[in-house]
Structure 1
């Protein structure tokens, strides 16, 4: 008898019973990557990382429509994966290792998204995969497995980040101006 997805991954995500929605998304990602082609797996993983970065940034910014417009919608200033990585790092929402991993996964995603004939055996893709710090270091692991293990590890690190980031959500505030007598500008 085949286990239900939530039963198969219970040990991996450290829970029993029903999964929190964000962990269910993680389980769904694992299943999706496993059923996809190499190209589909890369695009799916990168899209999931993009979404997690956007959720983390949105959780940090003030809760106003103008802040949400930064990440969502047509021509949003923080609408690309590259911009989300830079902003998340600049705001201290991801570590330097996470930023480097995101950038490498983005580069691999771009190879698969913009090249008709591409595979993990291509020199450029294999070279990028060798730079993944979160990849499994087991002997004999191929580039596809390195990518998948690194992407899954990165997602595991980021999956609950929006919840933690929300605890430090920014709030609007009134700032002193130069016309106020008590303000000293140095």
Structure 2
């Protein structure tokens, strides 16, 4: 089902603009923590839009001790599934590291500090990237704003996995549909045990995803060949 792109786009733009003004009011620490929290939330919403599973299943994966409960795991899987680019992944990881430095330090934090400033200058999404004449804070806020726009724009383009698999129902049987989250989790636990770590589960999901894509590509190719 196609989304109401115009309405969703306006809502996303309004949300991004509001966040940008909020970030400008915050201290450097508050700016980083709020920005990271918002980016993390947008990735969570992207997975809810894209992945298969009941609300309960997805909530368990995305919260508490779930395999997609952390910012780092969401960044990694979003890239592995092709939902974000490598540049976006790299920038999100840089922002995550800056967040960790702010979150784990009880002293006053400034974005002008050498280590943090170097990280900010290595961000690639901002329109100010590479310009060391621009204040780190301005680059950071602009970079967050641009990343947010990219993630929200990508969400508008997504088709839920189950809708994609329906389009290939004549090519791939239900037994071969390994993208279903519940089946992936069950299979992972069967192989690695009930106490499988988040890291093992993440790796398993990635492997299943790429294996399934190859199956789809091969079957589509075979079907096309038979129609020649």
TM-score, normalized by the shorter chain, greater than 0.5:
yes
Q: Which residue number in structure 2 is paired with residue 148 of structure 1?
A: 141
Equivalent residue in structure 1 for 2:111, among 115, 120, 129: 120
Alignment of 1:105-184 (within 5 A): 105-117=95-107, 118-135=109-126, 136-137=128-129, 138=131, 140-165=133-158, 167-170=159-162, 174-175=174-175
Q: CA deviation at 1:68?
A: 3.6
Give TM-score, length-normalised by structure 2.
0.63
> Superposition RMSD on alpha carbons, in Å?
2.4
Equivalent residue in structure 2 for 1:62, among 43, 47, 52: 52
Q: Which residue number in structure 2 is paired with residue 84 of structure 1?
A: 74
Equivalenced residue count is 159
Give TM-score, length-normalised by structure 1.
0.76
Deviation digits for residues 125-151 of structure 1 (CA, Å, limit 9, x no counterpart): 011112101231445112212211211
Going by fraction, where is helix more abundant, 1 or 2?
2
Q: Which moved more, 1:153-162 or 1:135-144?
A: 135-144
Q: Which residue number in structure 2 is paired with residue 31 of structure 1?
A: 21
Structure 2 unaligned regions, length at least 5: 1-5, 166-172, 177-228
Structure 1 unaligned regions, length at least 5: 1-14, 177-186
Q: CA deviation at 1:41?
A: 0.9
- Poorly superposed stretches of 4+, deviation over 3 Å: 170-173
Q: Distance in 2 between matches of 1:107 and 1:170?
A: 34
Deviation digits for residues 50-69 of structure 1 (CA, Å, limit 9, x no counterpart): 01111111211014131342
Deviation digits for residues 29-65 of structure 1 (CA, Å, limit 9, x no counterpart): 1121111111111111111110111111121101413
Equivalent residue in structure 1 for 2:34, among 41, 44, 52: 44
